[in-house]
């Protein structure tokens, strides 16, 4: 049975190197030294090769021996060379600020747009004030977590439960299975957004509707169905979705459990993307603005799509 392991990132210390030097002088094998230190034999073999120095035996004759001090110095020099320093140049700063204005996250700046900086470094520069941004410029300002709500035990969904949803929808095997929701601008009875997100491609449909009512939702959905081939809809239990069966086949409508937004996680994540452009409290959004946001989301690269955009996936598979 293997008696050793070498955890990732666990480097030899100067103390361990002195032990290696002493045990070699005492005649112990590389494998025995590895067993004593709990390291892989190959780790010890590589370490000894890197730490060999020439030692005079007698005049004109030399032999190679392991030196702990020499090995430690070589290790420290290699570590300094292995970490390339990253500097905030004018060009890099301009690119970061450009994509920040376009509501790109640091991860997307690096993975999708090729900014040659670690993601964590961009966050460090932000928090240290090097980018000239403030906390209010964060894509998602921090907020107090609301207490979890609990549904009444007598609750009944408006239609088929999400538990009846077939495998083809649950596993995102086809295009056309959408999650639906509404996004409020303010708490007042103002126009709001109707959003639908395709589970497979993450393609987004957004419409500005006059109110958060079942009739407004159904009217907008009727128009959307003329343009988009929707095969199923997963909704929450809000009253605005209680009459979906009037415009869509009730056999293909599924209702999530109460207060279980994660069951429509794809749609919820897209609503957060909308909030980058329309924070809570925004008023008087226009159809032109909504069309822009819809187009932006559908061309925004996503990690879950291997940094492709929903449009890329929809068009190219």
Prediction pTM value: 0.67
Q: How many domains does the chain have?
A: 3
* Three-state secondary structure call for residue 40: coil
Do residues 45 and 129 both lie within one domain? no
Do residues 112 and 191 both lie within one domain? no
Do residues 204 and 312 both lie within one domain? yes
pLDDT for the residue 79: 80
The reply to whether 152 falls in a domain is no
Instruction: Tell me the C-alpha distance between 200 and 302, whole Å.
Output: 12
Flag residues of the chain having pLDDT under 70: 1-9, 82-84, 141-157, 188, 317
CB 204 within 8 A of CB 297: yes
At CA 272, angle to CA 269 and CA 308, rounded to 5?
55
The reply to whether 7 falls in a domain is no
pLDDT for the residue 1: 40
The residues pairing with 56 across neighbouring beta strands, listed in sequence order, are 62
Spell 142-171 as b/e; 16+ CB within 10 A means b: eeeeeeeeeeeeeeebbbeebeebeeebee
Q: Which of 270, 261, 266, 260 is nearest to 294 (CA)?
A: 270
Do residues 49 and 192 both lie within one domain? no
User: Which CATH number is 214's domain given?
Assistant: 3.30.420.10
Do residues 43 and 123 both lie within one domain? no
User: Which of 63, 82, 101 is the C-terminal boundary of a domain?
Assistant: 82
Longest CA–CA separation in the chain, Å: 101
Do residues 239 and 293 both lie within one domain? yes
The reply to whether 2 falls in a domain is no
- According to DSSP, the β-strands at 177-183 and 192-198 are antiparallel
The reply to whether 303 falls in a domain is yes
List, for residues 50-98, the tens digit of each pLDDT value. Answer: 899 988 777 778 888 999 999 999 888 888 776 667 789 999 999 999 9
Do residues 200 and 63 both lie within one domain? no
Instruction: Tell me the C-alpha distance between 210 and 205, whole Å.
Output: 16
The DSSP output letter for 117 is S
pLDDT for the residue 152: 58
pLDDT for the residue 151: 55
CB 115 within 8 A of CB 107: no
CB-facing half-sphere around the CA of 58: CA atoms within 13 A: 0
Structure tokens at 175: 């295009």
Structure tokens at 186: 């303010």
Do residues 219 and 307 both lie within one domain? yes
Residue 120: CB atoms within 10 Å = 10
Instruction: Tell me the C-alpha distance between 254 and 136, whole Å.
Output: 38
The residues pairing with 198 across neighbouring beta strands, listed in sequence order, are 178
CB-facing half-sphere around the CA of 154: CA atoms within 13 A: 0
Residue 184 belongs to domain spanning: 160-316
């Amino acid at each position: 049975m293997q008696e050793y392991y070498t955890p990732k990132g666990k480097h030899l210390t100067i103390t361990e190197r002195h032990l290696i030097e002493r045990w070699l002088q005492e005649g112990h094998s590389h494998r025995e030294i590895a067993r004593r230190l709990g390291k892989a034999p190959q780790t010890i073999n590589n370490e000894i090769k890197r730490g060999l120095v020439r030692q005079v035996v007698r005049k004109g004759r030399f032999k190679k021996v392991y030196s702990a001090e020499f090995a430690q110095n070589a290790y420290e020099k290699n570590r300094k060379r292995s970490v390339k320093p990253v500097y905030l140049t004018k060009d890099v700063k301009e690119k970061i600020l450009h994509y920040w204005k376009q509501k790109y996250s640091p991860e997307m700046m690096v993975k999708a747009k090729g900014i040659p900086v670690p993601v964590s470094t961009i966050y460090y520069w932000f928090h240290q004030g090097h980018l000239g941004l403030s906390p209010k410029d964060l894509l998602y300002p921090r907020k107090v977590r609301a207490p979890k709500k609990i549904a009444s035990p007598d609750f009944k969904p408006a239609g088929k439960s999400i538990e009846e949803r077939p495998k083809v929808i649950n596993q995102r095997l086809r295009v056309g299975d959408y999650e639906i929701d509404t996004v409020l601008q303010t708490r007042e009875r103002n126009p709001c957004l109707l959003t639908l997100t395709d589970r497979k491609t993450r393609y987004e449909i957004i419409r500005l509707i006059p109110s958060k009512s079942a009739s407004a939702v159904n009217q907008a959905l009727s128009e959307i169905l003329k343009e988009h081939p929707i095969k199923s809809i997963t909704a929450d239990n809000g009253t605005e979705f209680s009459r979906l069966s009037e415009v869509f086949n009730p056999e293909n409508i599924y209702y999530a459990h109460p207060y279980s937004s994660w069951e429509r996680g794809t749609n919820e994540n897209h609503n957060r993307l909308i909030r980058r452009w329309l924070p809570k409290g925004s008023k008087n959004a226009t159809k032109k603005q909504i069309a822009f946001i819809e187009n932006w989301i559908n061309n925004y690269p996503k990690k879950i799509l291997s940094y492709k955009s929903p449009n890329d996936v929809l068009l190219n598979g």
